Amino acid sequence: MSTKGVQFAGLTVALVTPFKNGEVDEPALRKLVDWQVENGVDCLSPVGTTGESPTLSHAEHERVIAIVCEHVAGRVKVMAGTGSNSTREAVRLTKYAQSKGADGALIVAPYYNKPMGEGFYQHYKAISEASSLPIVLYNIPGRTAKNMEPEVVARIAELPTVVAIKESTGSMDQASQVKALTNLTLLSGDDSLTLPMMALGGEGVVSVVGNIVPRDVQAMIKAFRAGNLAEAQRWHLKLFPLCRDLLGLATNPIPIKGAMKMLGRDTGEVRLPMTALSPAEETRMRETLKKYGLIS
């Protein structure tokens, strides 16, 4: 195993992409960046799953990366979503993100076309050879239709620019295998598993719930790092119902955008084929936010 330092840790927020009247709302995006920085996040990750990257045009995808990098202006790190099921497109997006000053690239496993292990390796190898930007692997078989097995991840981890993995399989066994086989920084890709994953050696989370309660997620992470397990557990149990509904009420990012609309921080608009929360789902989300203490 190669030795690589920790470049991404703590709270990375998987940033939503705000829309207004069908278009990317650039002023709102800048406000979201400022709010996140003011609330103490370590890193922002635009145009991932939560950022609705599949519904953005190539020009919009690049524009969102450029705005976030420019507006962050070095205040926190930026881990730009540059993945694609086309290796050529992933290479182009990663090179673009580097040109705009991103600190890293979050690159989802190629989706839909279901490559073999060799295909996964060659995909990331091509990106690594085309750009010196640090790569964070993103393994989310529920979205991509194929798991990157730990042995495949271990091979990819030997590429010089691959530094971390966003582990979104939901399997603690898989996370443990990856941790045992590699020196990659392990980041939770599921808010409800952040504390368990840190217990087995993870360094933080790429968070959806951080869009609305970043300080609380940071409090849990910092309590664990300080050795205050009881405090970390208290935060985990407080956050859990919110995390559950934000990822279980409907497909991400529908619930988080609905919640942000209720909190007056987003229009709630999503792009087809995503659709807004139903009235019954809105009622449940409002109750969840009330119980958490976010609205009266």
- Please give the pLDDT value at position 246: 85
Q: What is the share, in percent, of the chain residues with pLDDT greater than 70?
A: 99
Higher-confidence residue: 2 or 193? 193
pLDDT digits (tens, 9 = 90+) for 72-108: 999 999 999 999 999 999 999 999 999 999 999 999 9
Is 179 one of the catalytic residues? no
Could you tell me the pLDDT band of residue 121, with boundaries at 50, 70 and 90? Answer: very high
Please give the distance of CA 72 from its chain centroid, rounded to a whole number.
Answer: 17
- Please give the pLDDT value at position 1: 61
Report the CATH architecture of 10-228. Answer: Alpha-Beta Barrel (3.20)
pLDDT digits (tens, 9 = 90+) for 31-55: 999 999 999 999 999 999 999 999 9
Q: What is the share, in percent, of the chain residues with pLDDT greater than 90?
A: 97
Is 138 one of the catalytic residues? yes
pLDDT digits (tens, 9 = 90+) for 12-36: 999 999 999 999 999 999 999 999 9
Structure token digits, residue 239: 């956050």
Q: Per the residue annotation, which of 77, 146, 166, 257 is the catalytic one?
A: 166
User: 27 preceded by cis ω (within 30°)?
Assistant: no
- Please give the pLDDT value at position 4: 79
Higher-confidence residue: 5 or 22? 22
What residues does each domain of the chain span?
A: 10-228
Q: Per the residue annotation, which of 96, 121, 124, 138 is the catalytic one?
A: 138
How high does pLDDT run on average in the chain?
A: 97
Residue 42 contacts by C-beta under 8 Å, 6 or more apart in sequence?
8, 9, 10, 11, 12, 76, 77, 204
2: pLDDT strictly greater than 80 = no
